[in-house]
Amino acid sequence: MIIVMKQNSTKEELKEVVRRIGELGYHPHIIHGETRNVIGAVGDERGKSVLQSLDSLPGVESVVPILKPYKLASREVSPLPSIIDVGRGVQIGGDKVVVMAGPCAVESCEQILATARAVKEAGATVLRGGAFKPRTSPYSFQGLEEEGLKMLAEAREETGLPIVTEVVNPKDAEMVGCYADILQVGARNVQNFPLLKALGRLGKPVLLKRGMSTTIQEFLMSAEYILSEGNRQVILCERGVRTFETATRNTLDISAVPVLKEQTHLPVIIDPSHATGHARLVPAMCFAAIAAGADGLIVEVHPEPEKATSDGAQSLRPEAFSVMMTKLREFAKVTGRGL
C-alpha cells in the first residue's frame, strides 16, 4: 500500500504513520517527494487491508494499493527517476550517460592498470573488471578473487575511477563490498535470492544484470529483493537474452530499456559486449542503447583481446573504444544528453 501524506502534513504526523505501519507488521519506506511525502508499506500481501485504517490518521491524504507485484521498484511508489551516487563524482540515472569499461576479468596488475588508464583517457567514468568469474565450465579461469580486487583498488587509486565488480557468493558480499564501489550481480545469479538479500543489507550500489531467460517482471522482482532489504541503490542492466539466434551470443532486448523506464524509477544500462559476443557489433548497440534512453553502458575493453582469459572476442581494443567514445559523445548530444 502507498500512504500519501497531505502537502502540509508535519514531521510528527509522518513519524506517527511510520510507527503505526511497523505496529501493523509492515515495513515503511519513506519517499520524500518535491511536493509531498509518500510511504510505501510493504509486507505480507494477504493482510494488507489492515493498512486501510491509516487513512484516518492526521496528515494522511489517502491510502492506495500498489498494483504491481514489485512495490518499491515501481513508478507507482516513486514516480521520479532515481539517481544513484556511486562516489568519485559519478551519478547514474541523471543527465549524463555513464560509460563503464574494462576487461571481462582482472588478469594482472599491469593489465588492469593499462586498461584503466586507457578507458579513462577515452572518457569512461567507471572501471569494470571481474575478480570472481562465474564460468560455464569449471575448467575455465575462475578469477583472481581477492588479489584481483586489490588490483582494481590500486587502479582506482591511480585513476580515480570507481570500480564495478561481480560478487558470486553471498558469503563474499561483505569482503567484495570493502573494495567495490558497485557490486555486480551476474546474469546467472539474478535469482540467487540469498545473494540479493545480502546485497540489500550491505547498502552499497548494486548493478543487477538481467538473466538470459528472465522476463522483465521477474527481473524487477529480483530488484525488489534488494530494495526490500532497505537498499535503494539498484542499477538494472540488460545484457541480452537467449533466443533461437546464433549469429550473436545473445539477443539484445533493446525494447527492455523503454519498457523498464515505464515500469520503474531505477536507472537502466546496457551491456553490448555480452549481448552480441563480437567486438565489431558493440558500437552499433551502444548507439542503439543511447537512442533507446539508457542511462549508461558497460563495455568490455582489453589491451590484448587475443590473449584475454575470457571474452576476448567481444572485447574492444583501447583504440577502438576511444574512437567509439568520440562518436558516442556527439550522438549523445543530439539526444539531449552528455557522456
The binding site for ligand PEP (CB under 6 A) comprises 104, 130, 186-188, 209, 239, 271, 274
Min CB(250)–Mn ion separation in Å: 12
CA 5 – CA 16 distance, rounded (Å) = 12
Residue placing its CB nearer to ligand PEP in the complex, 99 or 104: 104
209 binds, among ligand PEP, Mn ion, none (CB under 5 to 8 A by kind): ligand PEP
Residue nearest to ligand PEP (CB): 186
Determine the size of the site formed for Mn ion (CB under 5 A): 2
DSSP output for 247-312: SSSSB--TTHHHHHHHHBSS-EEE-HHHHHS-GGGHHHHHHHHHHHT-SEEEEEB-SSGGG-SS-G
Say if residues 303 and 318 touch (Cβ distance below 8 Å): yes
CA 75 – CA 137 distance, rounded (Å) = 39
Instruction: Determine the interface stretch with Mn ion among 77-85, 104-112, 121-129, 150-158 (rule: CB under 5 A).
Output: 104-112
165-168-169 Cα angle (round to 5): 130
Min CB(114)–Mn ion separation in Å: 18
Say if residues 43 and 54 touch (Cβ distance below 8 Å): no
C-alpha cell at 49: 487491508
C-alpha cell at 287: 548507439
Min CB(25)–ligand PEP separation in Å: 36
Min CB(338)–Mn ion separation in Å: 27
Residue placing its CB nearer to Mn ion in the complex, 295 or 311: 311
Please name the residues in contact with 78: beta carbons below 8 A apart, sequence gap of 6 or more. Answer: 31, 72, 265
Residue nearest to Mn ion (CB): 104
Through-space distance between the first and last CA atoms of the chain, rounded to whole angstroms: 38
CA 123 – CA 235 distance, rounded (Å) = 20
Residue placing its CB nearer to ligand PEP in the complex, 156 or 249: 249
CA 256 – CA 276 distance, rounded (Å) = 16
Instruction: Determine the interface stretch with Mn ion among 79-87, 187-195, 283-291, 310-318 (rule: CB under 5 A).
Output: 310-318
Min CB(240)–ligand PEP separation in Å: 8
Residue placing its CB nearer to Mn ion in the complex, 200 or 283: 283
CA 226 – CA 265 distance, rounded (Å) = 14
Residue placing its CB nearer to ligand PEP in the complex, 43 or 272: 272
Instruction: Determine the interface stretch with Mn ion among 151-159, 177-185, 188-196, 305-313 (rule: CB under 5 A).
Output: 305-313
The answer to whether residue 107 forms part of the interface with Mn ion (CB under 5 A) is no
Say if residues 149 and 133 touch (Cβ distance below 8 Å): no
Residue placing its CB nearer to Mn ion in the complex, 31 or 324: 324
The answer to whether residue 104 forms part of the interface with Mn ion (CB under 5 A) is yes
CA 83 – CA 248 distance, rounded (Å) = 32
The answer to whether residue 311 forms part of the interface with Mn ion (CB under 5 A) is yes
Min CB(237)–ligand PEP separation in Å: 7
3 state SS of 107:
coil
Instruction: Determine the interface stretch with Mn ion among 5-13, 100-108, 190-198, 264-272 (rule: CB under 5 A).
Output: 100-108
Say if residues 179 and 163 touch (Cβ distance below 8 Å): yes
Strand-strand pairing, 234-238 and 206-209: parallel
Residue placing its CB nearer to ligand PEP in the complex, 5 or 275: 275
Min CB(184)–Mn ion separation in Å: 11
Min CB(105)–ligand PEP separation in Å: 7
Residue placing its CB nearer to Mn ion in the complex, 29 or 302: 302
Binding site for Mn ion (CB under 5 A): 104, 311
